[in-house]
Structure formats: structure tokens, C-alpha cells
Amino acid sequence: MHFTIPLFERRTTNVASVTLGLGPSTRSRAGRHPERVQRLLIEDLRALFEKARAAELARFEMPRGIRLEKVRLELSLSGAGSGERRKVSGLCPVVLEPRWASEHERIVFAYHPIRQGDAAPIRDDLPLDEQLRALFQAAWAELDDDEIAQLWSRGKERITTLSFSCTPRSALADLPDRPGDDDTGADPAFRWKKRRGLKVLPSLGVSLTQRAAQGSLDAGVPRSPQREQLALLLGAGRAQPVIVVGPPGCGKTTLIHRAVVDLLEADGYGAHKNLDRARDVVAVSGRRVIAGMSHLGDWEKRGVELVEDARSRGAILVVDDIHHFGRIGRSRQSERSLADFFRGPLSRREIVMVGECSPEAFRLLEQDAPAFAALFTPLFLPEATPSETFRLMVREVRALEQRHAARVSPYVLRTILDLGGSLLSAQALPGKAMDLLREVVRAPAAEPARGDAARGPRPVGSQDVLRLLSQKTGVPRLLLGGDEPLDAGALEEELGRRVIGQPEAVRAAADLVARIKAGLVDPRRPYGVYLFTGPTGTGKTELAKCMAELIYGSASRLLRFDMSEQSGPDAPARLIGDRYAPDGLLTQRVREQPFSLVLLDEIEKAHPSVHSLLLQLFEDGRLTDAAARPAHFNHAVVVMTSNLGARARPSLGFGGAGLPEARALAMAEEAAQEVARAVREFFPPELFNRIDRVVPFRPLTPEVAVRVAEKELDRLLCRRGLAERSVFVRRGAGVAERIAREAFVAEDGARSVKRFIEDEIGSLLSDALTRGAPAAMQLLRIFTTAAPGPDHGAASPPFSLHREALEEAEPAAAAWALAPLMTKPLGALTAELSPLLEFVGDLERSDDLARLSERIRYHLAEHGRTAAEGSAAEEHAEAVYNLDAMRGAIRAFRERIELVQRRSGDDEEQQQLDLEVRRFGYVTVGEDAWSRSRVRLFHRRHQPRPPRRPAKQEVLECIAEGHALRRALRTVDAPGQHAVLIELLRAAHLDEAPAGGAGGAREEGLFEALARAYGEAAGEVDGWAGAPAGRAPSGGRRAPELEQGRGTAGLDAMLSRGAELLVLSVVGLCVLDFFELETGAHVWTSLARGPEVVRVRVLPARPGLSPAGAVREHLERQAAFDEAARQGRALPPNPAALLPVVRRIRFDPPRQQGRAAPIEIEDYAMGFAEASLARSLSQALAPLWLLRMSREDVA
């Protein structure tokens, strides 16, 4: 029997529902979720109705015309037991329920939905509020104020209906039992058997029909003709088992959800709202059926109960892992699986199942359980076309923009279809495009919005899609986007620094990166299939690591497989799995990380059966494991290494060094042909023809060995033990040449050099670290020792160490007037502006300004008198310029203080004006009990825009500038105060600054941050000169190349490429006094990269000395020092010697642009320490510059 019950529902923070019109049988429930509240009410009412007598069921009929009214009442209530009266008022919800007194007369009863016992008939000829006032004044007299407050209208209130079905008690059950009355022939034991409740279905499954009724089931956009076909199979008189087959992401789940909605509409749910009258569709899982079943026969018992539940309810079971039914349930004791168990009920149509799987999984099911698979009607769902996907994305964008307060650019959809469709090949359209669209809209913005932009919708553009794809795939944004060009020359240069002496191999790797950038790779095959051939130790594995970093952003994307371990006949089973271990080594790792470089090391040692697997991998870009799960390689680079033909050829190392150049080239060409012949003989033709490129690696030469020694030595000096102890190591001149001369063996390649460095240099450093005196920071310099002569008996060690401890600088004899004001609020700081303004007024009236003007006149007169003398006239002209700049600075400072003070005082006036607008900007023209009409006289937008209030940083700058002017008055005449040369030297760095992907810019370190900060701190950069990284004298072998410029033109470009030495020329009022405390060593420590030390020297500018001249002087002194060290002579003063540490910084720059990260700064020269949040190092140094301006000398 079907029932419909009226329900009063109140929604506040929770949902409270109470039945209406049931009298003593009224039921109520409350909770956070309305669906759960209604479900609990249905259970309560079903239990009530099943016990009710047949004669009582008539009063449970829903009255037609019941409605909810809200009436404003003012009640005068008498207190319980006292004569005092109290008045309460509020908006009261009232239920008006019509009841038929006879066939021709209907009476309307009014009552409160929470106190339904206080009901009374309502007359149509009297006002409703008067009748309710009389009713509730009498009924609520004994209630206290809190109880009455619960009765007033709150939140959202409405009357809805609750529909369900149940089997009430039969009228025959009320008759007295007499033997022999039963003439039906039914078994007395089952005559009054109640409807059995569900046993396991509610705990094992989720009702998709209930979710569809609630509107929480995503049914997507209908796709024809698959929607009609599925509706025909499931909506027939006898539903058919169906399995939806399609690639991942094609919309199989959405199609099934659409079928659930269609079934609900076909059952007329929109009219009766009774889920008990609709066919139930329940999502179950095979693994949940056997979960917790440890004994033989346990899961079969649960399966029987599941079949009984589904048969009794006529439910359709939706199974998401149906392709595993042929294996789930099997054990050592039994071969029975879920497919064997459910085959009988499915064939008898006792239950109906709907499954979904991929084509590969469907074939696996047909192999494991052919009889079970034959019971299903396969419905094949193809991948959506780009045009269909675009329409689905447009529909989804509208919902996402409202849900996440975003504004999606139309170009986002095009970018997702173009790039996401090709990069995320493991899924099909529209799934991968829709998932990517939702993820990019939900992702946080790269730069958080500020000000007015923070209140509007967040814009989402194509760059957000590129950023997300780069994070998901590891491919740098430079290779994904077409806007930024790829610098092929810089790319080859970067690879050439990592892989030394192999220009042909470097060019091949750069060509692959360029093809990926241009989008010219075959989308159905791997990005590239390469075979690296050559002798051991020539850089084959190193180049593979470099390619992984450039293409995928990290060397961890290199998946290395040693093919010597796959030399047995079981190699294919180990790589792609077998029946007992379906997760193969190769397929599992590529499935986990499809964007990777697969390195098959020493491919000639693999078993011949592996070559058959490689044929499919190279041609189709995919492998399928034993569990029918595909592993896609079309976004991977496959690199094979081989030593074929390398062992039989003659050495071209030291033995070939003395040969003529033509003969050496001929031997190299002959060796290359020998390698090519050996490769062709080894690989089958069908496999060799699928290799994109065979890249030969040449044997190393002595010249290349020196560069290898430099690179490997730098790697040793960046290891964790040195970084943790803050020990910086610099190699002297001739160290790399000595290593190559004593260690290099052509047959072993670079490995002989690595072994020598580990044995000699590594042992030397470990002895120094374990036996030397500990220090907070220290610098070790490696020098070569003189080679022993023929008369010496024992050989001396080839290398020696020089230890140099880094000490903290002594604090300057100064105080910082701004220090106590840094933590004060803005209101307290604005109080300091008036004294500053008085100081400027006193200064303008003081004798100091008069003496300043007199000195200007003096220097003007002297300049005119010595105009013919050249240098003397130039000195007087410079003095006039500086003194006049001082006078102009005082005048500009006064104007700035007055402006800031005026803006800080306008706040009270603006508040008063806003108050006046709120009070008198409207006039009321009509008002009654329900509404009020007003006319606007003055709108806020007609007000003049108030001036922006000064920020705290701006007020601090004014105060600091005032202190700087006081100090400048005393030093403005000092010679050399207004022009300085700032020399920055990269003294030590325990980590190589990584590039930002393929051809990306160098990551900013301490050297670059200080250079930019000095250019913005004080004065102006008049010019600069520097020696690029790698060209400063590190061995005296390469001639230094200088870069220079006027102003700041070209400085950022030079810093992005990397510099070893930089000299800035800064001019401005008293810049020497400002920068002089920067002289010393600056140390930056970070968790993400090794420590960095930069030595800074601030020198007064000398006449005729330009930044380029200062750089050349330093390089000449460094060259002389290196030459003396190489020859073992007495060493002159080291131009790169470290100075005391003046500042130590602990900072890990934020990964996302615009975010802030913790930073700690200790300035030993200033005696200042601070911990704060900063987006960059330049931002963190800004407070130090303000403190520096407030310097006051103390005794």
C-alpha cells in the first residue's frame, strides 16, 4: 500500500521535520542531512503503519489543500502562578488543514506545526490573526520565553510530502482464531508472513536511484544512440544483463547514471514521489562481497542473501569491477569464483546486472569466465569526438564558474583539447578533458589577487592550463606552450656542460627536445627511440639523465632497467608479468609514471625473447601486462645503451694523441663504421628499423678528461657532508689538469677519473673534516703540490689543503633609531610625523642651511676661477652638484611629509562624511506593517574619492629619510661619499644552480638577489661590468670575457645567465655611508639547495676607474695568484680571500610565484636579527635598508 504524508520542514543549521495531521502518531526527526532525516521518518512510519489496525488507516490519508501561513502575532501572556503579564511578538508559522465534517461541510483547523495538539477551527468571516491570538494566548500561557522563542519562524520553512510504501496489518488478523475456518489451502505457517526486510543489500551497495531522486547523481549530457539502447535493454518487461564496454574516460559511468534517471522518470517518480514504487538501482562491488570472508563458504552465504535481497526488491545491480568476477573468490581450497556463483541467477533472470569495463578487461573476463560473459549483452561506447567534448565542456564551465567564483577564458577549452587530449592519452574523451577542466578551475591561482581584484571572479586562462599540465606531466611549460621560443643554442650549451666531448650526441638530444616543442613527434609512438653506442665511461647514462631533466623536469623520471638481469628465458614474464604476478617490472613503473625516460641499459645482454616485446613497444607505444592493463609509452623516451663494437676497436685515447689529425679522423670514422656494423648484425632487421636514431659516443681525449675532472670534482664538493657542516671547498689552479694527467685511462673513460677523485680528493677532505678543529663555517682550498724530483725518495701527496675559518664581523659602533618603531602600529607611527615636520622647519631656519648655501656659493666662485685648470674645476663642480642635491632633498622631504600627514588625517573626516550620508541620505515617503518606501537623496558614489591612507611602510620610509638627512648634513662635504664601487664575488656555492627546464633561466641565488637589491636600495646604478660564470679564472686556461653596460641595461640578462664576478658603480647622496657596512661575506643557507657565500667589497670610486677596469684588476691579480699556485712558488695575497661574515640568511624561496615563505636574517654588522615572511630576498632586505638610514654613531 502506498502512503503520502504531509511534512513540516524547518532548515536552519540543521534540518528538523515533523509529520502533520497524524495526531498522537506524530513523528519528528532532526539532523544535518535532509535525505537521512526523511529516511529515518519513513522507517518510523513504516513500523507504525504495519502495526496499525485496518480501521485506523483512514486517518493517515493526506488532507487535500493543507497549507502553511506565516502570521505576525503580538501576544499578552499571563505568567504561571503570578498575576504579571508579559508581551511577546514574532512571526508565527501556522498550518491550515481542511477536514470534512460531512459530505457538504468542510472545516479548516489551524495549529502550530510543533504543537499540533493546540488546534482550533477557523472562521472565514473573522481576521486570522485575531483568532490565532486568542488561541495561542490561552495555549501558551504556561510556556517560558525560551520555549516560545522556539515556536517563532526561523530559517527556511515549508510543507513538503513524504511518500513510501508498506504492507499494513490485514483486517483478517483482527478476527478471532477458530479451527477449520481456512478454506484457502495456504500453509498456516506462512499465512500471515510479513514482508522480509533486506539483509545485506543496504550495507554492500549504494542506491543510485535514491541519489538520482535527491539530484546528487551526475547524469551528464545524454549521448545517442547508446542512451536509447541501454534504456531498451533495462526498461523492457524482462530486463537484460548489460555490460558497457569502452576506453577509460569515454563516459561509461555517466551513461549508466543517465539510465538510472531515465528509469526513475519512467516509473513516474515526478508524480508520486515514492521511491518504494520505483525500481531500485544499487551500485555494488565484487570485492565488498568477499570482504571479511575468511572461511570456506562465508562469501557464498553472503552472495545468497544478496541474490534474495535483489530478487525481492527487483533491484538492478551495477557492478564496477565485473571484469574481475572470474578471479574474485578463488582460493587454495576452492576454485569457485563470483562468476560461477552468479551465473545461475543471471541465466534465470532472477537478478539483473549492469557492468562496465574497458575492451581489454572484457577480453580478460571472456578468458576467465566465458559462460558468465556470454550472459551479458555488450554495449560498446566509443570515445567522444572533439566537437561533442567541446559542447560538454561549455556546459560544465557554466556550472564551475558559479561554484568556484571563477571566470574561464574561452581559450582554456581550446588549450585543454589541444594539449590535454594528446598528453593524457591513458584516458579517452570526454573524461580526460572534463577532469582537467575541473582541476584547473579548482586549482589555486598562481598569484593571489589583491585589492579590488580579490573581490571579483578569479580569471582562469591558458597559462593556468599549461601550469597544471606541467605539474602533472613534468614537461616544462616552455615545451608545452607555443608563445615562448626555444633557444636551441643555449640548450646545446647546457647539455654540452653536462655531457663533455660528445657534440653529436648532444645535438641528437637537442633535436628531440626541439621536435617535442614543435609538436612534430608521432602521437602513436614514443617521443623517441634511441640507441646509444660507444665504449664505457663516455657519458651515455649521463646524457640519458640530462634528457630526463630537460624533457620531464627531474632526473627521478629516469626509469633504469639493467638488461643483464633479463638474460634468462623468464625475462618477458618479469617485464610484463604473468598469471601469478601480473604486475610486470616494466609495465607497472611506466603505468605509474608514463612521462618518463625508459633506459634499457646494456640491451645486448637481454634475452632474445625481449626483442619481441620491444617490437610492439617501438611500433604502437604500448604494452599490455598479464592482467590486460595497458601501459602507454607514447609520452616516454626510450633509450638503449650498448657497448657493441667498442671492445674490438683500437684505443683513441692517449695512444692516439700523437697521431696526425687526418689519421685520427680516419680511425674515428673507421671505429664508427665498426660500431654500426656490429649493431646491424646484432639486432633483427624489423627491430633495427624501428630505432629512430643510433647515436655514437666517441672515446674521451686528454683535453676532454680535464673538463670531466672539473665537473666530477665540483660534484664531490657539493655533497651532503660538506653542506651540513657549512664547509666550502674551492679548487685552485692546475688541480683538474693534475687529476687528468695522473688518473685518465682511455679504455676506462671517465670512470678512471671518478675513481681517482674519490680516492685522493675524497680521502683528503674526509681527513680534514674528521681531524680538523670544528668551526661554524670554514673555507678549504685545494692546491697542487710540486712533483718530486728524481733525487727524492718518497713521493709527496699530489694535493694539499688550506683551511680558512669564516668568522662573524664585529658589530658597528652605531645605534638604529628606527628599530623600536618597526613593531609599532600605524597610528603610533603617524604621531612621529609632526616632530619630523618641525625638524625640517627648524632646519630651514637654522644656520646649517645658511652654511650649506654659503658653501655652494664658494664652490661656484672657485669653479669659475679654476675653470682653466681642469681637474680642480671638476672637483668644485661636483661639490656644487652634491650640495645642491642636499638642498633639494630637504625641500622634497618637507613636501612628502606634508602630503603623508595630510592623507593620514583625512580618515576622521571621511568617517564623519559617511555617517552623514547614512543618516540623511534617505527620506521615508511611506511605511506600513509590511514595507517601507524611501527615496535616496545622496549616493556614496557622488562623494569625492578619498585619498589613499598611507601604509605603514610609507610612514617608516619617511621617518628613516628624516634620520638620513640629519646624518647627511654632517658628511655631505666628505670626499668620496657620493660614488662607490660595489664588488660581488661568488666565493663558494655547494650546489649547481638548476636551470628552469629546457632552456630555462637560471634560478636566482644570493649573488643575483644582492646585485638586484643594491641597485634598488640607495642611489642609482651608473654602470656595471662582470665576468660570466665559467669564465672567471678557475684554472687560467680560458681567457675571461667581460660584459658591461650603462645604467642597469643588460644587467638582468647577465644575472640570469650566471655571473662569477660583478662590479656595480652606484652614485647618490652619501651612498658610501649607506653601503659601507655591506663589506664582508654574506651566507645563504637553504634546505632546497646548498649554502652560498658571496664576498662583497664597497670601495670609494677612484677617478678614472670604471667597473670594467675594476674587474680587469681583480682578474689580473687572480691570474697571478693561480700561476704562482700552479708552479709551487710563494703565493701573493689572494684576491678572493674571504672577509668576516656580515650577514647570514636562512630562506627557502616559495615554489609558487606570489606566495610568501619564512626567512631568518642575522646581520652581524648591525647587530640585528629578524624572522618574517617574504616573497623574495629583495623584499626581506627592505627593512634592513630602512634601519641603515636611521644610523646614529655611538662612542
Q: Render pLDDT for 381-402 as a digit per residue (tens, 0 to 9).
A: 999 998 989 988 998 998 899 8
Confidence band, pLDDT 50/70/90 cuts, at residue 370: very high
Q: Quick: pLDDT tens for 949-1007.
A: 677 888 888 888 888 888 887 777 777 888 899 999 998 776 554 444 454 445 788 99
CB count in 10 Å sphere of residue 608 = 10
Question: What pLDDT score was predicted for residue 381?
Answer: 95
Residue 374 included in any domain: yes
Greatest CA separation for the chain: 147
- Grouping H, G, I as helix, E, B as strand and the rest as coil, residue 954 is helix
Residues 556 and 629 in one domain: yes
- Grouping H, G, I as helix, E, B as strand and the rest as coil, residue 625 is coil
Q: Residue 439 above 80 pLDDT?
A: yes
Residue 79 included in any domain: yes
From 142-156, 380-394, 649-663, the region with the lowest mean pLDDT: 649-663
Q: Is the separation of the CB atoms in 681 and 648 below 8 Å?
A: no
* CATH for 438: 1.10.8
CA torsion, points 1123, 1127, 1130, 1132, in degrees to nearest 10?
A: 0
- The DSSP output letter for 857 is H
Going through 690-772 in order, the beta strands assigned E by DSSP cover: 693-696, 727-731
Confidence band, pLDDT 50/70/90 cuts, at residue 1033: very low
- Grouping H, G, I as helix, E, B as strand and the rest as coil, residue 85 is strand
Residue 746 included in any domain: yes
Question: What pLDDT score was predicted for residue 931?
Answer: 46
What's the mean pLDDT in 309-327?
Answer: 93
Question: What pLDDT score was predicted for residue 25?
Answer: 87
Q: How far apart are CA 1011 and CA 1075, in angstroms?
A: 13
From 425-434, 641-650, 658-667, 1117-1126, the region with the lowest mean pLDDT: 658-667
Q: Is the separation of the CB atoms in 42 and 55 below 8 Å?
A: no
Q: Where are the alpha helices (DSSP H) in 1077-1151?
A: 1107-1127
Structural domains of the chain, count: 7
Question: What pLDDT score was predicted for residue 186?
Answer: 44
Residue 653 included in any domain: yes
From 90-94, 655-659, 779-783, the region with the lowest mean pLDDT: 655-659
What's the mean pLDDT in 13-24?
Answer: 88
Among 380, 402, 425, where does a domain finish?
380
Residues 979 and 1073 in one domain: yes
What's the mean pLDDT in 245-249?
Answer: 93
Confidence band, pLDDT 50/70/90 cuts, at residue 656: very low
Q: Residue 648 above 70 pLDDT?
A: no
Task: Compute the residue count for the chain.
Answer: 1195
Angle separating helix axes 540-552 and 503-518, nearest 10 degrees: 20
Question: What pLDDT score was predicted for residue 379?
Answer: 96
Residue 193 included in any domain: no
Report percent pLDDT > 70 for the chain.
Answer: 83
Among 805, 831, 856, where does a domain finish?
805
- Residue range(s) defining the domain that contains residue 442: 386-446+458-473
Residues 722 and 578 in one domain: no
Question: What pLDDT score was predicted for residue 956?
Answer: 86
Residues 1050 and 980 in one domain: yes
What's the mean pLDDT in 528-537?
Answer: 92
Angle separating helix axes 833-845 and 952-971, nearest 10 degrees: 30
Residue 883 included in any domain: yes
Burial 77-108, CB ≥16 within 10 A → b, else e: beeeeeeeeeebeeebbbbebeeeeeeeeeeb
Residues 162 and 40 in one domain: yes
Residues 320 and 206 in one domain: yes
Residue 130 included in any domain: yes
Residues 886 and 1013 in one domain: no
Question: What pLDDT score was predicted for residue 654?
Answer: 40
Residues 768 and 657 in one domain: no
Question: What pLDDT score was predicted for residue 655?
Answer: 42
Residues 951 and 993 in one domain: no
What's the mean pLDDT in 617-642?
Answer: 90
The whole-model pTM stands at 0.69
Instruction: Give the sign of the dihedral formed by CA 961, CA 966, CA 967, CA 971.
Output: positive
Residues 370 and 398 in one domain: no
Q: Residue 940 above 70 pLDDT?
A: no
* pLDDT: which is higher, 929 or 884: 884
Confidence band, pLDDT 50/70/90 cuts, at residue 1111: very high
Q: How far apart are CA 180 and CA 183, in angstroms?
A: 8
Residue 1169 included in any domain: no
* CATH for 315: 3.40.50.300
Q: What angle do CA 310, 313, 315 make, to 5 degrees?
A: 55
Among 955, 985, 1012, where does a domain finish?
955
- The DSSP output letter for 33 is -
Question: What pLDDT score was predicted for residue 382?
Answer: 94
Q: Quick: pLDDT tens for 158-215.
A: 999 998 888 877 766 666 655 555 544 444 444 434 445 678 998 999 999 999 998 8
Q: What angle do CA 28, 34, 36 make, to 5 degrees?
A: 80
Residues 14 and 93 in one domain: yes
Residues 1035 and 1096 in one domain: yes
Question: What pLDDT score was predicted for residue 244?
Answer: 97
Q: How far apart are CA 1065 and CA 1076, in angstroms?
A: 14
Instruction: Give the sign of the dihedral formed by CA 500, CA 504, CA 510, CA 516.
Output: negative
C-alpha cell read off for 159: 510543507
Question: What pLDDT score was predicted for residue 1164?
Answer: 93
Q: Quick: pLDDT tens for 21-33.
A: 888 889 999 998 8
Q: Is the separation of the CB atoms in 538 and 700 below 8 Å?
A: yes
Q: How far apart are CA 884 and CA 888, in angstroms?
A: 6
Q: Quick: pLDDT tens for 1138-1178.
A: 899 999 999 988 877 778 899 999 999 999 899 999 988 88
Q: How far apart are CA 964 and CA 984, in angstroms?
A: 25
Q: Quick: pLDDT tens for 765-817.
A: 888 888 766 666 788 888 888 665 555 445 568 888 888 888 889 999 899 98
The per-residue pLDDT of the chain, averaged, comes to: 83
Question: What pLDDT score was predicted for residue 985?
Answer: 94
Q: How far apart are CA 361 and CA 559, in angstroms?
A: 27
